[in-house]
Chain A
Amino acid sequence: MPDLVHHSPGSNGSSKQPFPAPGKPFSPEDEAALTEALKRCSPATVEAAVKFRKTGDPALVPAVVIGIIERFVEPDQRAKLREADDDVRIIDDLGIDSLTMMEIVMLVEDTLQMSINNDELRHLRTLGDIKTFIDCKIRGLPPPKPSRFLPIEHIAMVMPVQPPFLFLNEATVGANGASAKYKITGEEFFLKGHFKDNPVMPASIMLEALGQLAVLFLLEGGHGEEGKQADPKTIYFTGCEGVRAHRVCKPGDTLSLAIKPKRLKMPLATFEGQVRVGQEKAAFAEEITLTFGLRDIVVAPESAAAPAAPVASPVVSPAAPAAAARSITPAAAVSAPVA
């Protein structure tokens, strides 16, 4: 299957203009065409879309967008969408492929009278990404920095924590938080003794994994002051509050980790964290606090960064080579296995 999203030619229209376009009244013919275009969506979706086109009220947008996505999700997956939080991933969790994503975008464009170009489309991985992106467009605001997918090679390159004590297999870092996966293999050294003949992932390690994801967020989220970034040599754990474990996790389980920053002010960063296995809650921490310091961004020479491009995978944003260039030392950037 060719990666059509990645290769299709550039923009299909300006994305700067706020919506709805001014000075175009919504005629009964427009309403009939809209209703026809949305004929396979729920009546609530049609109603919200019509109301949006009449009023331009951005509060209606989530209902329209979720309603359109729902129409393209196989019926047996729709319950998942209704229960979904913003972290649900369109492709991995809802089984929507990049071609269906295009169908969704076309219908969203028609319905909301906006245009989304291919470049923008590539960064939308989660339901939350889509909601935020469209909300920004409707309000005429610049879209937030897209979330980035980081493969294990990249994580291992930037993190101060290393195997066998690194509990992130892959991660996605965005402006408002980060998510990651870790599969419990059963080979983890501590499972030999935790417990005797009954390997169970220690809750303290799950908390550690959330802490590591918070470190990754500090390093990769781009939150430092101008020209500065979090220094991996200065990040330490300071405390946590309100930790609860809900589920015993064993070899074979894949932990879905998510953290969201609550307060971020040097030298402290506080996050909320949760761990799920599939749809089941496994652990929750109301607050995980880290201390951190800043350092100057080291820009790698052009020639060193060049071999990192091009990026093969469509889910890795074009920002990835830049991230390699921003990495800890020039030596690390030279050997950066980005793709």
Chain B
Amino acid sequence: MSKVYITGLGLITSIGNDVASATRSLRELRHGFEVHPLSDRTGVLIHVVGTVKDFQVDSTDPEDWVFPKKYTVKREVLRGLGPNALFAYCAMLQAIEDARLAPADISNPQTGLYAASGGSPFLTHHLHERMQKIGVMRCSPLGIVASIAGTLNFNLVAHFKILGASCGFSSACASSLHALGFACEEIRTGRQQRMFVVGAEDCNTDSIMPFAGMRALSLQSDPNLASRPFDVARDGFVGTGGGAVVVLESEAEVARRGVTPYAEIAGWGQASDGYNVAISHPDGVGLHLAMKLALKDSGCAPEDIDYVNAHATSTTIGDASEARALKAIFTNPSTRPAISSTKALTGHGLSLSGAMETAFCAIALRDGFMPGSAHISQLDPACDGLNIIRATLPARPHVVLNNSSGFGGANVCAVLKRAN
């Protein structure tokens, strides 16, 4: 079974539009929030958003969009993209450069792409409204591919001429970690030599606001208080969008190309709560099992883990449930790993979060630090016994664990190791 390495990253996130700036934000605990009111017909409800900077993508016509000049996107490509796919496209270009991939490394039957996104509800909304008002024959011919949930894989596979495995994953906030897990399997079994794992989401009223309907969003207007996972006074998550691309390669490809990987993906696991469509199991049974399976798959013991990038989104129920699952895994008080949720800085990226936080873990392993869990003023007593770090630790972890949980009680956990 081949080992799997992370050899390239691409990031368009609220805390930075490249690896270097996101790394700085993680180290220095700089959040990516802005006061950016979102309203429904009753008025402004949501005040804080993890905005994506330097991208003006609030028009339904992609030719109106403004984004950094270094990304050139042809009109025929642009017209099939939603905002999420544009973020992903730009992150993809970064990841290709970061991994030093030549065109022949990208377009061959041994290279595939797995992606995850909730689609673009913003464009779906526009398309349906126009269809009813003006008629479907006056709607963009690419309205469908730009807006439905598979938009990332449709677009990226076509434009980057991917010839290997490709599909989309749909398990809400666990999606892109599912994509990563199955991409690992493709490489481990030798069916693929290289996989792009992509997560991306829009960052607008249509993608974020509906979560207020289930009372999952923070109503705070202070960007320093809105996202505070594990704090006793947390009141919901802060929405964000962006794009993240993780390049995975086999041992043989790493050796052939002579590249230095960020990290190894040692294993992964998944399990489900079988409990509620939207609420995590109070004891985190699915997440607990996912972590156990990931540890087993990677041949690691709980004592080997130095750092956990928690899923914790800053919701009351979710964070408490994850805390219980973590306590059930890390029972030895003398070897407790450092735990933080980087969503305190980025906000919750939904389908983006698994790939984005895997990238953060890879950065932590390569650059030798563990980002702190920001914005905690009073730790939730439910976290007693866990080593939730409030400041960045300058120590280099050996093995880290990354969690993601999605609707329906889907839980995924990946174990990453130092590459050398």
How many A residues touch the partner, as a band? 10 to 19
- Bits for A38-54, please: 1 = Cβ < 8 Å to B, else 0: 00100000000000000
Cα–Cα distance between A12 and B142 once the two chains are bound (Å): 18
**Interchain CA distance A4-B137 in the complex, whole Å:** 12
Query: Would you call A40 and B141 a contact (CB within 8 A)?
Result: no
Known pairs A74-B76, A99-B142 / 17 extra A-B pairs, C-beta < 8 Å? A4-B141, A12-B135, A12-B137, A40-B63, A72-B75, A74-B74, A74-B75, A97-B76, A99-B141, A100-B76, A102-B141, A103-B79, A103-B140, A103-B141, A106-B137, A106-B138, A110-B138
- CB closest chain-B residue, reference A95: B76
| Nearest chain A residue, comparing its CB with the CB of B138 | A106
Within A72-103, the residues touching B (CB, 8 Å) are 72, 74, 97, 99-100, 102-103
Find the B residue at minimum CB distance from A100.
B76
Interface membership of chain B positions 62-78, coded 1 if the CB is closer than 8 angstroms to chain A and 0 otherwise = 01000000000011100
B144 to chain A: closest CB distance in Å?
A: 10
Among B104-153, those with CB < 8 Å from A are: 135, 137-138, 140-142
Distance (whole angstroms) from the CB of B66 to the closest CB of chain A: 15
Closest 8 CB pairs of A and B: A12-B137, A99-B141, A102-B141, A106-B138, A74-B74, A99-B142, A4-B141, A103-B141
Name the CB-closest residue of A to B140.
A103
Residues of A within 8 A of B138 (CB): 106, 110
Which residue of B is nearest A11, CB measured? Answer: B137
- Please give, as numbers and ranges, the residues of chain A lying within 8 Å of B79 by CB-CB distance: 103
* Residues of B contacting A: mostly: loop
Q: Which residues of B contact A12 (CB under 8 A)?
A: 135, 137
Interface residues contributed by chain B, number (CB under 8 Å): 11
Query: Closest chain B residue to A118 by CB distance?
Result: B137
Nearest CB on A from B192, distance (A): 24
- A-binding residues in B (CB < 8 A): 63, 74-76, 79, 135, 137-138, 140-142
What distance in Å separates the Cβ of A21 from its nearest Cβ neighbour in chain B? 17
Residues from chain A with a CB closer than 8 A to the CB of B75 are 72, 74
Closest chain B residue, CB of each to CB of A75:
B75
Closest chain A residue to B80 by CB distance? A99
Which A residues from 92 to 124 make CB contacts under 8 A with B? 97, 99-100, 102-103, 106, 110
A75 to nearest B CB, angstroms?
9
* Bound-state Cα–Cα, A83 to B63, Å: 26
| Best-surrounded residue of B63, B137, B142 (most CB of chain A within 10 A) | B137
Shortest Cβ distance from B162 into chain A, in angstroms?
15
Min CB–CB distance B418 → chain A (angstroms): 44
A4 to B141 CA separation, bound complex (whole angstroms): 9
19 residue pairs bridging A and B, Cβ less than 8 Å apart:
A4-B141, A12-B135, A12-B137, A40-B63, A72-B75, A74-B74, A74-B75, A74-B76, A97-B76, A99-B141, A99-B142, A100-B76, A102-B141, A103-B79, A103-B140, A103-B141, A106-B137, A106-B138, A110-B138
Write the nearest CB–CB distance from B31 to chain A, whole angstroms: 38
Question: A13's closest neighbor in chain B, by CB?
Answer: B137
Residues of A within 8 A of B142 (CB): 99
Cα distance A99–B137 in the bound complex, in angstroms: 12
A97 to B79, CA, bound (A): 13
Shortest beta-carbon distance, B156 to chain A, in Å? Answer: 15
B135 contact set on A, CB distance < 8 A: 12
* Cβ contacts under 8 Å, A40 to chain B: 63
Q: Cβ of B76: which chain A residues have Cβ within 8 Å of it?
A: 74, 97, 100
B72 to chain A minimum Cβ distance, whole angstroms, is: 11
- Chain A residues 1 to 38 lying within 8 A of chain B, measured CB to CB, are 4, 12
Closest to B142 in A: A99
Tell me, in angstroms, the Cα distance from A102 to B137 when the chains sit together.
Answer: 9
Q: Which of B76, B135, B138, B142 has the most CB of A within 10 A?
A: B76
Alpha-carbon gap, A97 to B76, bound state (A) = 9
Distance of B379 from chain A, by nearest CB (Å): 54
> Shortest Cβ distance from A95 into chain B, in angstroms?
8
* Cα distance A300–B142 in the bound complex, in angstroms: 43
Min distance, Cβ B136 to any Cβ of chain A, angstroms: 9
Closest to B79 in A: A103
B73 to chain A, nearest CB (A): 12
Residues of B contacting A106 in the complex (Cβ-Cβ under 8 angstroms): 137-138
Smallest CB–CB gap between B360 and chain A, Å?
36
Query: How many Å lie between the Cα of A40 and that of B61 in the bound state?
Result: 12
- State how many angstroms separate the Cβ of B155 from the closest Cβ of chain A: 12
- Complex Cα distance, B74 from A88, in Å, reads 22
Tell me how far the C-beta of A211 lies from the nearest C-beta in chain B, rounded to whole angstroms. 39
A319 CB, nearest partner CB in chain B, Å: 25
Measured CA separation A74–B78 after assembly (Å):
12
How close is A315's CB to chain B, nearest CB, in angstroms? 18
A160 CB → nearest B CB, Å = 43
